[in-house]
Amino acid sequence: MLKTYPFDKDMEDLFKKEHSNYREYTVFQDESWCKKSNFFYHGFLFVRNNQGRRILNKIIEIKSNNKRRWSDISFKNIKNVATNTEEGRKTIVVRFWLELADKELRKRNIKFYLFGVDKNNIKNFWLKGSFNKHIYLRFFELGLKSSVKWFGEDERETKPLRISHLYYEYGNYNDERKDKIKWLNLEFFKKGFPWILPSQDNISDLYSNEKLSKHEFSNLIQFTDIILGAC
């Protein structure tokens, strides 16, 4: 059974129509911890709505052509192994996805923002709660705010930019992340910032595994993971 979201009724139009006064994007977020270096990363993928359906179809087509349609693809799957193995096929998918990402980035149909934090340089100045939780939420907020500001000031854009929807991978601190986005919206609104962040109804956590989410947009969370890992 397909898992429904408050905005599913608009999905068919989401990547086909665009408000005439804006250039609209949907944002997908994923994160990565590097235990070896003790770095933490948030990645934000901005997908232009009127190109997103085509991009999503291509992402799924690449998986299907390599018999991995329902696989949960992650950067950690990349291994130098025989192509006829499970990991080998996933590596082929990743390679083609990165080629697609390169092409779409050059055309500015997608934008990607990487926000990295060196945990070695951060002291635990939070007196209450989990150190890792505070780092996660604080830099999720800063990363999203920085990405929105950076892309919003791109002089090559011919129209003001607007985020219509935002998805973050289901996992740590789902409700707290949604709360951060709500306050960011208020802050940008007060400053008259040209970006418009989505309403609470258009913000949702989403499993990267499509079998769990029952939603094809999980493939764009996977795509975000791959670009984040490559960076």
pLDDT in tens, 120-176: 888 766 556 687 888 888 889 889 988 988 888 888 888 888 888 899 999 888 888
| b/e burial code for range 210-229 (CB count within 10 A of at least 16 → b) | beebebebbbbbbbbbbbbb
Note the pLDDT of residue 115.
93
User: So what's the pLDDT on residue 218?
Assistant: 97
Tokens of 230: 């490559």
Report the C-alpha gap between 228 and 49 in whole angstroms: 21
Q: Are strands 23-34 and 203-206 parallel, antiparallel or unpaired?
A: unpaired
Q: Which amino acid is at 227?
A: I
Categorize the per-residue pLDDT at 106 as very low, low, confident or very high, splitting at 50, 70 and 90.
very high
Angle made by CA atoms 7, 61, 74, in degrees to the nearest 5: 75
* Span 43-99, pLDDT tens digits: 999 999 989 999 999 999 999 999 999 999 999 888 876 677 878 889 999 999 999
DSSP annotation of 216 reads T
Unique residue bearing structure tokens 């989505």: 198
Sheet with strand 39-48: strands edge to edge: 110-118, 39-48, 23-34, 161-169, 203-206
The encoded tokens of residue 52 equal 């997103």
Measure the CA angle with vertex 220, ends 72 and 182; round to 5°.
Answer: 120
Residue given tokens 């939070």 in the structure block: 126
**pLDDT tens digits for 200-213?**
778 889 999 999 99
